[in-house]
Structure 1
Amino acid sequence: MDKNIIASLAFLVVSISAQSSSISGTESCSSTLTAAYSGPSVASGYVARLVANGLDSPRGIKFDNDGNLLVVEEGVGITALSFDDDGGSCVTVASQDTIITDVTLNHGIELSSDGGTLYASNSDKLYSWSYSGAERQVTSEASTLVENMEGTDHTSRTLLLSRAAPGMIVVNRGSFGNIDFEARDIESGHSQVKAFNITGITSPLDFNGDGVLLGWGLRNNVGIAEEPNGGGIWAVENSGDRLNRSGEDIHENNPAEELNFLGYLNGTESPNQGQNFGYPDCFSAWEVDDLPDFQGQTGEQFAPNDQNSTNNDQICGERIPPRLVFDSHMAPLDIKFNSEGTQAWISFHGSWNREEPIGYKLSVVEFANGEPVEPSDSRTAAVDIVSNPDLSACPSACFRPVGLAWDGNGRLFMSSDWTGEIYMITRIEGTLDSATERPNGTGTTDTSTSASTGDASAESPSSTASDSTATSARRIDSMGALAVVVCALAFFL
């Protein structure tokens, strides 16, 4: 073939590629919010879009059956957000309505499967309201379902309405302070996770005296989820701060944060259920080399301070250990399974007392047959999907993940309390919540990242990236590669 003809073909391909690039740049959302800080870094194949801002400390979130996102705004009450939504990655707030004004509500939120009953909590009580998603409003006064949960320091009362055992609702009650010695007494009700049958109750239940004990010695298990296949209850724990051992400060890299298995509500037996998980006397190891005189491994429990006959590693070895552990001080606040139970998504709020900040991210843990895939001593079980690119700017200039919620299209929404924002996380191709989904389709995650404001995608660095834009970008890459080949032929012929 004549060299001039080949060169002309190459020029034509490059020209078409440029035109396609120009066209793809217009395939974006009509409205894109921009964060006031460096936007998130995102694992390859994902998009994180900022879809709402200007909220007051959004914590727990939950979609109703009409597609409204219900948000607990700490110090305000509960807000309903409706969206203009293309079903893909272009989502913008259409309306914002305060449906409950109650400054004491601070975190917990749930909704009955029929969408007709809304549940929320403050540090002392669990409430319910009749609710209409079509009207975006509660249609009754509050009813008190559980009471006598008051406390200090850890006041979030996370709620989980069981699907495996209808009528049962799980409630977390954290510790009173960093080290709460009253939690040693099972009768105190401190640092416990319990479940209550709220079917047809006519008077409030008492947290201490009623309910089914799922576990005690649990410092502050803010995130709680039910594995959808077997019905197992899993919880993520915020562990202790400012610990010492044998006269040495060990707080920088110990203790580990935890993923605990608490048993079942559907009648399946478990040796973990109702048992002592160790706090306040035992904690889990993360960086074992930083623990003086410790002979165990990552994930095993140790006793802080000085060892004695009532406080030692042997006794801690008799407590229920975590199933997995995570780096210290990352502060996990929520956990949500995908519908097939193959992934557990965990929000890490981030550290406050560590020399180098850590956490501030959304990660995923792989599951199979109702269990994490990784062994209990793994240090790599949590794979980062959305994170802050510059942790040195945290916490003042970072998003801080709190609540997670799936919508009806298999997209994951995440609240950030410090920045007053809601993010939406999707796959560039396919549905995020799918039985066959893995972070990159192979069971591992490609950790290549890109940062932007408002919308982050590892496939497209544009702040207005969408699924269609990414598809066009891949077509452009293919055409560009063809142009290179043709140009090379022109050179050699």
Structure 2
Amino acid sequence: MRAPVATMLLGAGAVALLASAASTSENDSLRVGLAAYSDWKADAPGAWRKIAPGDLPAPLASEPRAERSQIAPRPDGAAPKALDGFSVETFAAGLSGPRVLRFAPNGDLFVAESNSGRIRAFHLQNGTLKPAQSEIFAGGLDRPYGIAFHPPGPDPQYVYVGTVSNVLRFPYRKGDLKASAAAEIVVGSLPKSETGHWTRDIAFSADGKTLYVAVGSKSNVADGHSRPSSAEVAALEAKNGVGAGSGPEFERAALLAFDPDGSNRRVYANGLRNCSGLTLRPKTDEVWCVVNERDMLGDDLPPDYATRVKPGAFYGWPWYYIGRNEDPRHAGERPDLGERVTIPDVLLQPHSAPLGVAFYEGDQFPAEYKGDAFVALHGSWNRAKRTGYKVVRLKFKDGRPTGEYQDFLTGFVLDDAHVWGRPVGVAVAPDGSLLVSEDANGTIYRVFQAAR
């Protein structure tokens, strides 16, 4: 028997938090070069930025800092700030570390509550984006993160879940809010450690024949790891591609690929320090993700980014960043890789910590949004002046990113030390609105176009 919606959810008698205030407009001027580097005080819905590879400062141009934000309760009446013409309401509250959001083909919403080791499923009220029922689809999992339905299309047979060390799958039939059987391990022995990135995002190719699994690095910059000999490098790269990791970083900072049953294990791309938000650009086979870059090179280095992940490509970590810029902590170690680094598509302000990305193909937002992407920025921890803690929109033209991005949802920061929200997941709902999860106070917000 399905349980009614828990009291933590936005019920009929609750008051939605609405916000449409914004201090800037769609036509706000573009900030480029040094002007694109700022902090939360300069954030406002409508502000545009563009960072180019030539805009990077020198390493250690500013002193590295460790300034972790302190999580505060959400103040009474507080809500994220959206662009003029948009409103924000609470979809669900009181969740335990909600991260990845994925809609099933029938419109049910699946949420990875990573902190509690479970996947929650929401069934929505007919014709609305209001939760009518909520169930724990599966629990007892090791920090679940990525969620994918297989095969792609209207009638998937499985729900795949990425955990720290495995990819699992549960049998699924349209409308299931609770798993009908125990999980099957599809991919075992993912690189696991007590330190390092634990998120394991997953996605399927458009034809359903390839399962992509993102595995972040164990360390920040691979400090202290022994370098393989030239012969060992040649053998490693012949099997696992340019820039393949070794030792503790073997098959890490990489995008792995498998057949749907977990067989045919291979490395798809290397040098992605922490690839998250795996998705396909609609109507294409382009694999996209957002990447948290390395730390302790200064406030404004190196940029985080969103990018197509090209098969066989190498994105630099740990030896290089944004092309042939060499990390001084690995100077002279791999000169053979300098000209082989793929430059990512959209550079984001350093230390913003992007985690989620979703392409907009809905009909509710203005027509110019179609084909653009939304990215959730979880927020900085090693920058003197706080940045991130917002959702931005990446501009595309003729199917290609322009490199420009716009503040779309802000207002989660209270002061230089305290925040009440940390965005993680973004998903486009069946009605064309945008859902955003934040794991600081366990809330999912819905952004929709205000009635005119």
- Give TM-score scaled by structure 2 length: 0.72
Corresponding residue of 1:158: 201
Q: In 2, Cα distance between the equivalents of 1:301 and 1:32? A: 52
Q: In the alignment, is the contact (CA less than 8 A) between 2:244 and 2:270 conserved in 1?
A: no
Cα distance change on mapping 1:350 and 1:306 into 2, 3 Å: closer
Q: In 2, Cα distance between the equivalents of 1:56 and 1:390? A: 20
Cα distance change on mapping 1:390 and 1:123 into 2, 3 Å: closer
Cα distance change on mapping 1:133 and 1:174 into 2, 3 Å: same
Matching of residue 77 in structure 1 with residue 121 in structure 2: no
Corresponding residue of 1:371: 400
Query: Map of 1:467-482 to 2, 5 A cutoff?
Result: 467=451, 471=452
User: Once the 2 structures are TM-superposed, how far is the Cα of residue 307 of structure 1 from its aligned partner?
Assistant: 8.0
Corresponding residue of 2:442: 420
Query: Map of 1:259-298 to 2, 5 A cutoff?
Result: 259-263=306-310, 273-284=311-322
Q: In 1, Cα distance between the equivalents of 2:245 and 2:330? A: 23
Corresponding residue of 1:359: 388
Cα distance change on mapping 1:389 and 1:146 into 2, 3 Å: closer
2:384 alignment partner, SS class: coil
Q: In 2, Cα distance between the equivalents of 1:135 and 1:122? A: 21
1:392 alignment partner, SS class: coil
Q: In the alignment, is the contact (CA less than 8 A) between 2:81 and 2:409 conserved in 1?
A: yes
Please tell me the residue identity of whatever aligns with 1:383: Q
Name the one with the larger helix percent. Answer: 1
Q: In the alignment, is the contact (CA less than 8 A) between 2:244 and 2:271 conserved in 1?
A: no
Cα distance change on mapping 1:389 and 1:236 into 2, 3 Å: closer
Q: In 2, Cα distance between the equivalents of 1:224 and 1:231? A: 12
Q: In the alignment, is the contact (CA less than 8 A) between 2:385 and 2:416 conserved in 1?
A: no
Across the aligned residues of Structure 1 and Structure 2, the Cα RMSD in angstroms comes to 2.5
Please tell me the residue identity of whatever aligns with 2:221: I
Q: In the alignment, is the contact (CA less than 8 A) between 1:194 and 1:211 conserved in 2?
A: yes
Cα distance change on mapping 1:196 and 1:370 into 2, 3 Å: farther
Q: How many residue pairs get matched?
A: 351
Corresponding residue of 2:254: 192
1:170 alignment partner, SS class: strand
Q: In the alignment, is the contact (CA less than 8 A) between 2:390 and 2:412 conserved in 1?
A: no
Q: In 1, Cα distance between the equivalents of 2:421 and 2:13? A: 24
Query: Map of 1:73-472 to 2, 5 A cutoff?
Result: 73-74=113-114, 75-84=116-125, 87=128, 91-112=129-150, 113=153, 114-151=155-192, 152-163=195-206, 165-180=207-222, 181=225, 185-186=244-245, 188-198=250-260, 201=261, 204-205=262-263, 210-243=264-297, 251-263=298-310, 273-284=311-322, 300-305=323-328, 308-310=331-333, 316-339=338-361, 342-374=371-403, 381-388=404-411, 390=413, 392=415, 396-428=418-450, 467=451, 471=452
Q: In 1, Cα distance between the equivalents of 2:211 and 2:176? A: 25
Q: 1:306-340 CA distances to partner (integer Å, 9 max, x unpaired)?
A: 6854467x953441111221100001101111238
User: Once the 2 structures are TM-superposed, how far is the Cα of residue 301 of structure 1 from its aligned partner?
Assistant: 4.3
Q: 1:426-475 CA distances to partner (integer Å, 9 max, x unpaired)?
A: 122xxxxxxxxxxxxxxxxxxxxxxxxxxxxxxxxxxxxxx2xxx3xxxx
Corresponding residue of 1:31: 14
Please tell me the residue identity of whatever aligns with 1:329: H
Cα distance change on mapping 1:307 and 1:404 into 2, 3 Å: closer
Q: In 2, Cα distance between the equivalents of 1:71 and 1:135? A: 14
Q: In 2, Cα distance between the equivalents of 1:349 and 1:277? A: 22
Q: In 2, Cα distance between the equivalents of 1:191 and 1:80? A: 30
User: Once the 2 structures are TM-superposed, how far is the Cα of residue 148 of structure 1 from its aligned partner?
Assistant: 1.6
Cα distance change on mapping 1:92 and 1:393 into 2, 3 Å: farther
Q: In 2, Cα distance between the equivalents of 1:32 and 1:145? A: 43
User: Once the 2 structures are TM-superposed, how far is the Cα of residue 389 of structure 1 from its aligned partner?
Assistant: 5.8
Corresponding residue of 1:431: none
Corresponding residue of 1:44: 84
Q: In the alignment, is the contact (CA less than 8 A) between 1:76 and 1:103 conserved in 2?
A: yes
**Where does structure 2 lack aligned partners over 5 or more consecutive residues?**
1-11, 18-72, 228-242, 363-369
Q: In the alignment, is the contact (CA less than 8 A) between 2:251 and 2:267 conserved in 1?
A: no
Give the fraction of aligned pairs with identical amino acids, expressed as a percent. Answer: 23
Which of these two proteins has the greater Rg computed from alpha carbons? 1
Q: In 2, Cα distance between the equivalents of 1:177 and 1:307? A: 14
1:99 alignment partner, SS class: strand
Cα distance change on mapping 1:191 and 1:135 into 2, 3 Å: closer
Q: In the alignment, is the contact (CA less than 8 A) between 1:48 and 1:386 conserved in 2?
A: no
1:68 to 108, 118, 124: 108
Q: In the alignment, is the contact (CA less than 8 A) between 2:147 and 2:162 conserved in 1?
A: yes
- Which stretch of the first structure deviates more once superposed, 108-117 or 119-128? 108-117
Q: In 2, Cα distance between the equivalents of 1:121 and 1:140? A: 17
Q: In 1, Cα distance between the equivalents of 2:330 and 2:276? A: 30
Cα distance change on mapping 1:49 and 1:212 into 2, 3 Å: same
Q: In 2, Cα distance between the equivalents of 1:65 and 1:137? A: 16
Q: 1:45-69 CA distances to partner (integer Å, 9 max, x unpaired)?
A: 2122111001000111112233321
User: Once the 2 structures are TM-superposed, how far is the Cα of residue 70 of structure 1 from its aligned partner?
Assistant: 1.1
Please tell me the residue identity of whatever aligns with 2:312: G
Q: 1:268-311 CA distances to partner (integer Å, 9 max, x unpaired)?
A: xxxxx212211101123xxxxxxxxxxxxxxx542222685446
